[in-house]
Chain A
């Protein structure tokens, strides 16, 4: 991260904008839930909005957009294993699963 005061002041403006976007997306998530969509579209919409919010927090508040390669690499490995964890439940209903 930069130490230049002018750059930091610019970042502060971005933080406020991101905050407004996060608040808007929170309201949007709740509003979408009142549409009473079928389960699968409801999950997709809710997770899409949550991912957008997570991207904003990680990208701007956690400074991932300007982070060094070593941190990005650690996260890439983490994301890979997180996806594996999320796919594990699918094994339990798969015909390939042998109990």
Chain B
């Protein structure tokens, strides 16, 4: 670590006991909780004040969403295994698990695209009704987060992984932060799935 870099990104800060990177990503995730929290709150308000509300399973594809839930859960496991591989100093295993995480995220997005395409074919758009408005807003924002995760993880799989040779501890910290973000994206879906598709 050079002297002009950000301090305490490889070693814990003596006051907080965690690296500044980890503190930063948790503050970011806190803001993300509020972002999605606001939309969940809007969902509750819209649903509670609507004279009638459709059952999600009547309009949406539950088997595809169940598959996507399992895909995202599996990607969370491969992500944490990528981090564990670095902790065990097995870089080639890290690459395999990270590649699997990216691949699973792309599968999730592909399945979501199929769902969206099906909706558009039947002329169901955000403007169709309040249910579709909040459905597309919540799943669209979540999908953008998945896409963001793919971009970050792809960087850490290819050019960003050069840091492993220079500063393994810092690289492991970066993967831990990327993992925390990825698990958060999984957490959001864990609530979106029953709220939108099953209730």
Which residues of A are interface residues toward B (Cβ below 8 A)?
1, 3, 5, 8-9, 11-12, 15-16, 18-19, 22-23, 26-27, 29-30, 32-33, 39, 42-43, 46-47, 49-50, 53-54, 57-58, 61-62, 67-71, 74-75, 77-78, 81-82, 85-86, 88-89, 92-93
8 Å CB contact of A77 from B30, B80, B176: B30
Q: A9-B88, A12-B84, A89-B44 are in contact. Are A23 and B73 (CB under 8 A)?
A: yes
B54 to nearest A CB, angstroms? Answer: 12
Which residues of B are interface residues toward A (Cβ below 8 A)?
16-18, 22-23, 26-27, 30, 33-34, 37-38, 40-41, 44-45, 48-49, 57, 62, 66, 69-70, 73-74, 76-77, 79-81, 84, 87-88, 176, 179-180, 183-184, 186-187, 190-191, 193-195, 198-199
- Asked if residues A74 and B198 are in contact (CB atoms below 8 Å), the reply is no
* Docked pose: A87 CA to B180 CA in angstroms: 27
* Docked pose: A77 CA to B26 CA in angstroms: 12
A28 to nearest B CB, angstroms? Answer: 11
8 Å CB contact of B33 from A12, A61, A78, A93: A78
A46 to nearest B CB, angstroms? Answer: 4
Q: Which residues of A contact B183 (CB under 8 A)?
A: 57-58, 61-62
* Docked pose: A98 CA to B84 CA in angstroms: 54
* Docked pose: A32 CA to B197 CA in angstroms: 13
Q: Which residues of A contact B193 (CB under 8 A)?
A: 26, 29, 50
- Asked if residues B88 and A30 are in contact (CB atoms below 8 Å), the reply is no
* Docked pose: A30 CA to B81 CA in angstroms: 27
- Asked if residues B77 and A30 are in contact (CB atoms below 8 Å), the reply is no
